[in-house]
A and B are shown apart, each in its own frame.
Chain A
Amino acid sequence: MNRDRLRRLISSAFVGACALAVLLALVPLAMVLFFVVRQGIGSLNLAFFTSMPRPVGEAGGGMANAIVGTLMLTGIASLMAVPVGVMSGIYMSEYAGTWLAIALRFAADTLNGVPSIVIGVFAYGIAVLPFKQFSALAGGFALGIMMIPIIARTTEELLLLVPNALREGALALGATRARAVFTVIVPAALPGIITGIVLALARIAGETAPLLFTSFNNRFFSRALTQPISSLTVQIYTYAISPYDDWHRQAWAGALVLVGFVLTCSLLARIATARIRRLRG
């Protein structure tokens, strides 16, 4: 009897501990969001998006150049990563079980686990050193490498969810494999694939380490692909480790923009995924 009560007590304590763990994880989430909003909201205004950084000692100013820079960097990264990622995903799902598909999946998971700073070093060696020039292209290249495995794996997973009956339906009508893939299978999975790309974008938009020595930073407005370019994250970093209060405020405002972007993307992706699921039934 007594033993049973002890067992039940342990069980309840365990359940309680698990619930506590959830709360424990939500605390930092709430705190980070709270501080980002509280510290950032004060400096966030239209000027933040439209004007350039001010020198030390002058309050105000914005991150127009960094925002444009981040957009350009993620754009370059997408141009590189979407084709490679989607096509790799197609291979992995169409030829699932072949040795190359298995190797690709392993490579994608491996690449996904490579620390972003290492990707930065690699991109430096490939795209900066030979040209003796930090550049937007190099930064986009680094981010693109990080994007590829994410897109490849989500594409693969979503394509595998497309019923085989659709593939057979297309083939039975005289479609080649390529036709079936590009006219039926990929379109059927397209909403999900786009969602995956958006999530990948959100993730790389928040990356700093791969940019530190590829796209570097630029105090001025630049749209040149072969010049260093500013980015939201590197700018936040520069400001955060500076000793100036004005800059700290700017850093928080930048973080707010970044978090806002990332969370909006996640939320949209969530809603889209839920809707896709519902439509599928």
Chain B
Amino acid sequence: MTHQVSSPTRFTTGLSVRDGRDPALNQAPKAVKIDVEHLSFFYGVKRALEDISLQIQANLVTAFIGPSGCGKSTFLRTLNRMNDIIPGARIEGHVRIDGLDAYASGVDVVKLRRKVGMVFQKSNPFPKTIFENVAYGLRINGLAASKSELAGRVEESLKQAALWGEVKDRLHESALAMSGGQQQRLCIARALAIRPDIILMDEPASALDPIATQRIEELVYDLKQAYTIVIVTHNMQQAARISDHTAFFWLGRLVEYDRTDKIFTNPSEKLTEDYVTGRFG
């Protein structure tokens, strides 16, 4: 099945209303946390993202869905400038976090990433102890003044990530000895430890079994009180379960962005409908 995409701007419907009102939500407007404007992204000459504009609201869970290779990860990684380290990568447009341009010339990437935490698809604990993994960000950023504060924040983060009970007796064992699900929650704890505002998650549960996945989902639900969460997922049920807003990407473009229930029950775009109902390649 092929789809003719006529105009990219047509797709940025729903929430990307510039005046801050949010007709689709019918509720008090929340603060815009991330504001993306006309963003294009290139790997060398290859264009991976095309003119994307959307606004992500604070203290909500926003899900990115779309077929493999459509640019979800690429887009997510532009939000904390993780793509900076890819040679030949280039970006156009604007990303504003709390109103400040993330790509402006004076911006300190390190500070930005401290504010915008990230959890990766494949858990990537450092080959250190459980404790040292969580303490890492605190140490390098000098966020704990004393040993006891460090230990306190490690404990707090592990509790937030619902991992404390399982690991409190083996904090000083290697993180690599944990199960896949535990490793992923450790990575979440590690990200939480430095108290970011925003947490980006790139398919955090895709490598996990259903039970571990469920724990991650519960965790996301709990975390949203305090954080703005952006999550990429391949799993549409998951997106429907945990997110408030959903953005559908297709071939490097943002096709539709709206409230999750609307996307899944009554999407405006035929393309979205085909995708969420599974009638899609």
Q: Which residues of A are interface residues toward B (Cβ below 8 A)?
A: 97-98, 163, 165-176, 179, 183-184, 187-188
B124 touches A166 (CB 8 A): yes
A184 to B85, CA, bound (A): 16
B window 98-157: CB within 8 A of A: 110-111, 113-114, 117-118, 120, 122, 124-128, 136-137, 140-141
B126 touches A166 (CB 8 A): yes
A188 to B125, CA, bound (A): 11
A175 to B122, CA, bound (A): 19
B140 touches A172 (CB 8 A): no
A174 to B187, CA, bound (A): 14
B126 touches A174 (CB 8 A): no
Query: Which residues from A are CB-within-8-Å of B113?
Result: 171-174
B127 touches A170 (CB 8 A): no
Query: Which residues from B are CB-within-8-Å of A183?
Result: 136, 140
Q: Is B239 an interface residue (CB 8 A)?
A: no
Distance in Å: Cβ of B138 to nearest Cβ of chain A: 9
B82 touches A173 (CB 8 A): no
Main secondary structure on A side of the interface with B: helix
B window 222-257: CB within 8 A of A: none
Q: Is B191 an interface residue (CB 8 A)?
A: yes
Q: A174-B194, A187-B128, A188-B126 are in contact. List 13 more A-B contacts (CB 8 A).
A: A165-B124, A166-B127, A168-B118, A168-B124, A170-B126, A172-B120, A173-B117, A173-B190, A174-B137, A174-B141, A175-B110, A175-B136, A176-B110
What are 24 inter-chain pairs, A to B, with CB distance below 8 A? A97-B87, A165-B122, A166-B124, A168-B124, A169-B124, A169-B187, A170-B140, A171-B85, A172-B82, A172-B117, A172-B118, A172-B120, A172-B191, A173-B136, A173-B140, A173-B190, A173-B191, A173-B194, A174-B111, A174-B194, A175-B110, A175-B137, A183-B136, A184-B126
Distance in Å: Cβ of A92 to nearest Cβ of chain B: 14
A98 to B85, CA, bound (A): 13
A187 touches B137 (CB 8 A): no
Residue on B nearest A167 in the bound complex, by CB? B85
Q: Which residues of B are interface residues toward A (Cβ below 8 A)?
A: 80, 82, 85, 87, 110-111, 113-114, 117-118, 120, 122, 124-128, 136-137, 140-141, 187, 190-191, 194
A171 to B81, CA, bound (A): 10
Query: A169, A175, A184 — which one has the most chain B CB atoms within 10 A of its CB?
Result: A169
A179 to B128, CA, bound (A): 15
A168 touches B120 (CB 8 A): yes
Q: For the complex of A and B, list the 3 residue pairs with the smallest distance between their C-beta atoms, beginning with the closest.
A: A174-B114, A165-B124, A173-B137
Given contacts A173-B136, A173-B137, contact A165 B120 (CB under 8 A): yes
Query: Which residues from B are CB-within-8-Å of A184?
Result: 126, 136
Residue on A nearest B114 in the bound complex, by CB? A174
B111 touches A171 (CB 8 A): no
A176 to B85, CA, bound (A): 11
Say which residue of B82, B117, B125, B191 sits within 8 Å of A168 (CB atoms). Answer: B82
A258 to B137, CA, bound (A): 47
A5 to B187, CA, bound (A): 63
Residue on B nearest A281 in the bound complex, by CB? B176
Query: Which residues from A are CB-within-8-Å of B122?
Result: 165
Query: A171, A172, A175, A184 — which one has the most chain B CB atoms within 10 A of its CB?
Result: A172
Query: Which residues from A are CB-within-8-Å of B118?
Result: 168, 172
Given contacts A165-B120, A175-B110, A188-B127, contact A170 B136 (CB under 8 A): yes
Query: Which residues from A are CB-within-8-Å of B127?
Result: 166, 187-188
Residue on B nearest A163 in the bound complex, by CB? B124
Residue on A nearest B187 in the bound complex, by CB? A169
A97 to B86, CA, bound (A): 11
A187 to B113, CA, bound (A): 22
Query: Which residues from B are CB-within-8-Å of A175?
Result: 110, 136-137, 140
A239 to B5, CA, bound (A): 85
Query: Which residues from A are CB-within-8-Å of B80?
Result: 172
Residue on B nearest A169 in the bound complex, by CB? B124
Distance in Å: Cβ of A183 to nearest Cβ of chain B: 7
A187 to B174, CA, bound (A): 14
B140 touches A174 (CB 8 A): yes
A174 touches B110 (CB 8 A): yes
Residue on A nearest B113 in the bound complex, by CB? A174
Query: Which residues from A are CB-within-8-Å of B128?
Result: 187
Distance in Å: Cβ of A165 to nearest Cβ of chain B: 4
Query: Which residues from A are CB-within-8-Å of B120?
Result: 165, 168-169, 172
A98 to B230, CA, bound (A): 34
Distance in Å: Cβ of B8 to nearest Cβ of chain A: 29
A171 touches B194 (CB 8 A): no
Distance in Å: Cβ of B56 to nearest Cβ of chain A: 18
A169 to B191, CA, bound (A): 9
A188 to B114, CA, bound (A): 23
